[in-house]
A = this chain, B = another copy of it.
């Protein structure tokens, strides 16, 4: 043990895995907390003060003058202005591209609607809900339109789920590891409580004809974004979403109507939905052929790969951060999710995958939704390599990057879900590396094609 470490490191509390990963329950179960005093306090977290006898003497400026009045709709504190989406518009056509959720600056599981990632193909339309309607047609008994006001009378339900762009984390395919912060590398995924109408109810009203197998969904943006979706998924759990996190959808998330297909890649969760056409075959749209299809190593292509597989990401500490307090106790926390159901387990390694400890999962664990994991870590001051891997209820284990490449080749752009490695150097600086031996790697990522 490093002699600089405070005495509580010698307390002998057993580790759960190598290089300082502690039992996940140590801090959160009251009995254990009260039995584990030897390794608290966290170094430098607490110091005594002069103003204990009369705290009034130390009143800051904001206790000496009345505060701001009431507001009809609140906004974040001015000190949090850097907690923002990172916008990455196409260089030529600025209305197309992406903006990224700053996952590394958030906690809990809900993504604030103002920070939900964006993927637009021709900007955010300014839709008057009074002039918008949804057409259901094609292989149905009765073609129907529904205006927004009438839809609000329909039975609704709520589903908390993630929506992840099929191209999220695609810098992982690059030869040189991206040094972007975690959210600007993996933040084309967000998690909301969506409320809307089960589409089966509306399809029942239109009457599904025999032979209908696909649904062509079209948005009311200037790209007329459209894709093909198997009818079965829409009948299973497809939702016509009207509300996001309690209030009506935000414009950039499809106001006034959005298709939500829990667990499936973002592109099929069509925003500004105006049309659902039932068909016997897919429409073979640009966004299911030229895009959102992966060329595999053997020259064949992977199409209609709708489900987002299990994935996890340590959000803190993560690339670009510094362990400012020096050697001592830190909380490792992150997010895990799976398009196939619930996250069953998240394992964390602090020794480059030689040993793994199970992280604490925050209840409730919901299917196809962000699951927050946390585990305490005692950093010795030596270089370390942090990893996390998600295991979902189907038994699927998030793969190492090399295994993913072995399976899918190097020409992929979509559906990257390899294990992420954060390196920690002796100064406590975190970076992104592909493997332990490459811990000294650095550089900028490959140049990605613009999101067009």
Closest to A105 in B: B247
A3: Cβ under 8 A from any B Cβ? no
Given A49-B143, A62-B125, A80-B248: A75 in contact with B33 (beta carbons within 8 A)? no
Q: How many copies does the complex hold?
A: 2
Knowing A66-B122, A128-B79, A245-B245, the reply to whether A49 touches B251 (Cβ < 8 A) is no
Most buried by B among A55, A87, A105, A333: A55
Query: Shortest distance in angstroms between A208's beta carbon and chain B's nearest beta carbon?
Result: 10
Residue contact A144 to B72, C-beta cutoff 8 Å: no
A73–B63 CB distance below 8 A: no
- When distances are taken between beta carbons in the complex, the residues of chain B under 8 Å from A249 are 77
Interface pick from A146-154, A172-180, A380-388: A146-154
Residues of B with C-beta under 8 A to A324:
149
- Do B84 and A72 have beta carbons less than 8 Å apart? yes
The A375-402 residues at the B interface (CB cut-off 8 A) are: 376
A57 at the interface (CB under 8 A from B): no
Contact of A135 among B52, B137, B201, B204 (CB under 8 A): B52
Chain B residues with Cβ under 8 A from A333's Cβ?
156
> Which residue of the partner chain, among B44, B146, B222, contacts A65 with CB atoms under 8 Å?
B222
Among B70, B94, B127, the residue within 8 A (CB) of A120 is B70
* A residues neighboring B (CB under 8 Å): 27-28, 30, 33-34, 37, 40-42, 44-49, 51-52, 55, 59-60, 62-80, 83-89, 94-95, 97-99, 105-116, 118, 120, 122-132, 135, 137, 142-146, 149-151, 153-158, 193-195, 198, 200-201, 204-206, 218, 220-222, 224, 235, 242-243, 245-253, 255-256, 274-275, 324-325, 329-331, 333, 362, 364, 366, 372, 374, 376
What are 27 pairs between A and B in contact, CB < 8 Å?
Answer: A27-B198, A33-B198, A40-B205, A41-B144, A45-B150, A45-B153, A46-B206, A62-B127, A63-B125, A66-B123, A67-B126, A68-B125, A68-B126, A68-B251, A70-B98, A71-B87, A72-B87, A73-B76, A73-B85, A77-B255, A77-B256, A80-B248, A109-B158, A112-B246, A149-B324, A156-B333, A158-B372
12 other contacts beyond A27-B155, A46-B150, A108-B194, with CB at 8 A cut-off?
A41-B144, A47-B145, A59-B224, A67-B95, A67-B126, A67-B222, A70-B88, A70-B94, A70-B118, A71-B85, A74-B251, A107-B246
